Amino acid sequence: MNKKLIVIAGLAVFLAAGSSVAYATHAWGKYHWNLSTEDTLANPLKLGDNLTTANWESSLAGASDDWNDSVLKNQIVGGTSPDCDPTLGQVEVCNDAYGENGWLGIAQIWVYRGRDGHIAQGVVKVNDTYFNWPAYNSSAWRNLVVCQEVGHTFGLDHQDEIFSNANLGTCMDYTNDPDGTILGQLDNQHPNLHDYEMMETIYAHVNSTSSGPGNGNGNGGGNGKKPTGVGADINLNDPSAWGQAIKQDGEGNDSLYRRDLGNGLVLITHVIWEESVN
C-alpha cells in the first residue's frame, strides 16, 4: 500500500517535471515584444511585406490571420526593405534566391541586452533557391515555414524538432509532411492551441502590468533607447555571421544562434535547414 503510494507520488512528480520542461523549452528564452494585447489592438505589430510572388503573399496572409488569434495582434504593411534590412519596431518578411547556403528559412530577432529579453526588431527570410525545388515547391511547405518563422519573431520556439515524429498539428513542429497528406496525419500549416497558450504565458506580464491604454511608445517599445548600428553592415544571410550555435535540432544540426552585436543588442537566429527532405 505505502509502496504503491510512493510509486504514484513519484510518477506524479516525474510527470509534473516533464510537462514543465516541455512548456519551458517551447518559449524562446524569454524574448518577446514589450507590447500588451491592448497596445497591439490599437497599433498591431507590423509585418513588412517585401515578398515578390503571390504564392508567398498568400502564405504570409494566412500566417498573419492565424497568429492574430493569439494575444499579440499583427498587420501586414507594405514593405520598405527589399534587402530585408531590419526596421526598428517591426518585422520585415522577404523571399529571394539566397543560394545553396543550406537554409530553407530563417527568423532573426534583435534583442535588447539585459534581463528583459525585449525584441527590438525582426526579420523573416525564405530561400527560393530551395523552394523552387519540386520537393519544397508547394503551398504546404511555404505555409509551414512562413507560419513558423513569424512565430519565432513573436518569441515562440518549436514544439518538436524531430522531422520524422508524427505531426502535432502546428507549424511550430518540424515535419517532412507539412499538410499531413503523405502519411495521413495532422496538418502542420497553422499554429495550434498550445502555441496560443504559450503566447499568453510569454505576454502575461505585459498584459497584467499594463496601466491605462497603451504604453505610449507604440511598436518601438524596448528599453526606451534606440539601438544604433542595427547590423546592416554584416551579411545576415551567412551562417558565419550568426554567432555561436546554442541549440541543435533533432538531426543534430545547429538550429539556434546567438551573437552579441556589441551595441546593446543581441542577434538571435533561428534556422530551418533544407536537409529535412533529402
Least distance (Å) between residue 272 CB and Zn ion? 5
* Window 236 to 275, contacts with Zn ion (CB under 5 A): 270, 272
Q: List all residues 6 or more positions away from 205 whose beta carbon is below 8 Å from its beta carbon.
A: none
Q: Which of 149, 116, 144, 112 shows the shortest CA–CA distance to 269?
A: 149
Residue closer to Zn ion (CB basis): 73 or 270: 270
The pattern of x and - marking residues 144 through 163 that bind Zn ion according to CB under 5 A reads ----x---------------
Least distance (Å) between residue 209 CB and Zn ion? 9
Q: Which of 124, 133, 127 shows the shortest CA–CA distance to 96?
A: 127
Q: List all residues 6 or more positions away from 233 whose beta carbon is below 8 Å from its beta carbon.
A: none
In terms of DSSP bridges, do strands 103-112 and 265-273 run parallel, antiparallel, or are they unpaired? Answer: antiparallel
Residue type (1 letter), 263: N
Q: Which of 91, 93, 95 shows the shortest CA–CA distance to 119?
A: 91
Residue closer to Zn ion (CB basis): 76 or 119: 119
Residue closer to Zn ion (CB basis): 80 or 176: 176
Residue type (1 letter), 151: G
Least distance (Å) between residue 206 CB and Zn ion? 5
Residue closer to Zn ion (CB basis): 80 or 217: 217
Residue closer to Zn ion (CB basis): 26 or 270: 270
Least distance (Å) between residue 256 CB and Zn ion? 9
In terms of DSSP bridges, do strands 119-127 and 254-260 run parallel, antiparallel, or are they unpaired? Answer: unpaired
Residue closer to Zn ion (CB basis): 13 or 249: 249
Least distance (Å) between residue 116 CB and Zn ion? 5
Give how far the C-alpha of residue 55 lies from the chain's centroid of Cα atoms, to the nearest Å.
20
Cβ atoms of 170 and 159 closer than 8 Å? yes
Residue closer to Zn ion (CB basis): 138 or 207: 207
Residue closer to Zn ion (CB basis): 148 or 153: 148
In the 8-state DSSP scheme, what is residue 27?
B
Least distance (Å) between residue 105 CB and Zn ion? 7
Distance separating alpha carbons of residues 63 and 142, to the nearest angstrom: 10
- The site for Zn ion, by CB under 5 A, has a size of 3
Q: What are phi and psi of 184, to 5 degrees?
A: 60, 55
The pattern of x and - marking residues 119 through 148 that bind Zn ion according to CB under 5 A reads -----------------------------x
Least distance (Å) between residue 19 CB and Zn ion? 22
10 Å Cβ neighbour count for 237?
A: 17
In the 8-state DSSP scheme, what is residue 160?
B
What are the cell numbers at 273? 535547414
Least distance (Å) between residue 27 CB and Zn ion? 12
Query: Applying CB under 5 A, which residues contact Zn ion?
Result: 148, 270, 272
